[in-house]
């Protein structure tokens, strides 16, 4: 038996990324590992989900990460889809909308896509 633990995104500016995830999705830091040449921060949601987002910052990394075709993403469900959409519009982080499916995507400071889902949608 296996259970989801976390997903990792490598980031160039840890403070900027933490602020983005807090502002855009309400995620908060739950723990941090300070290592030699790296920092790992785990973010959790307000509902207390066991699944976390791990942000990894490497001191010697200066160039943006190559995300390839960026065909991967994390998905977040929200109870107030309209309010979330309005907030993300104001933040200027919506990168793709699929109105027919009733979903949209936002992009974080490093180019990772995050899918936003309404309360009920079978995806």
Cβ atoms 33, 39 nearer than 8 A: yes
Cβ atoms 118, 102 nearer than 8 A: yes
Among left, alpha and beta (phi > 0; psi -120 to 50; other), residue 90 is alpha
Query: What residues are labeled active site?
Result: 115
The dihedrals phi and psi of 23, each to the nearest 5 degrees, come to: -70, -45
Cβ atoms 88, 94 nearer than 8 A: yes
């Amino acid at each position: 038996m296996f259970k989801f633990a976390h997903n990792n995104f490598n980031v160039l500016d840890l403070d900027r990324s933490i602020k983005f995830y807090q502002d855009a999705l309400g995620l908060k830091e739950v723990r941090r590992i300070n290592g030699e040449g790296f920092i790992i921060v785990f973010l959790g949601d307000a509902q207390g989900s066991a699944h976390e987002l791990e942000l990894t910052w490497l001191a010697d990394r200066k160039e943006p990460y190559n995300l390839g075709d960026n065909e991967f993403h994390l998905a977040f469900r929200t109870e107030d889809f309209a309010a979330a959409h309005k907030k993300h519009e104001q933040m200027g982080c919506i990168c793709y909308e699929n109105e027919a499916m009733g979903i949209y995507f936002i992009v974080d400071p490093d180019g990772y896509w995050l899918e936003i889902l309404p309360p009920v949608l079978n995806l």
